[in-house]
Amino acid sequence: MSKVLLLSGLLTSLLLAGAAQAAEGDAAKGRLLAQEKCARCHNIEKGAAFKLQPPSFQAIAIYRTRQDIWGRIISPSPHSGMPDMMWALTPDQVQDAVAYITSLDTPVTLPQ
């Protein structure tokens, strides 16, 4: 009996660890995804020019919260020109994209 409990406890923690990881997203995968699906409109590179329309990913990382970025990927402002990614990406891919964008939140040096 106790072995069964121990095993189920272990499985639960493994599942929770897996879920936490999925919720965090994988920035490296997100970068590849961004190159494939976002770069034709957004400037996706760190230190790249601060493009405004649409905003560069680094600008988004600096000005938006993680939650806000997530929301704007799955449910963009209407008529903004941002395609609705809710159906184009899996939930994991959305998390990966968020992880990549938030990884760009570092100070920038503006050109003189």
Residues lying near ligand HEC in the complex (CB under 6 A) are found at 34, 37-38, 40-42, 53-55, 60, 64, 69, 72-73, 76-77, 80-83, 85, 97
State the nearest-atom distance from the C-beta of 101 to ligand HEC, in Å.
6
- 19/104 with CB nearer ligand HEC: 104
Within a 10 A sphere around the Cβ of 48, how many other Cβ atoms? 15
**In the complex, what is the shortest distance from the CB of residue 19 to ligand HEC, in angstroms, rounded to a whole number?**
22
Contact status, residue 26 vs residue 96, Cβ threshold 8 Å: yes
CB of 94 to ligand HEC, least distance (A): 8
Contact 48, 56 (CB under 8 A): yes
User: What distance in Å separates the CA atoms of residue 85 and residue 107, rounded to the nearest whole number?
Assistant: 28
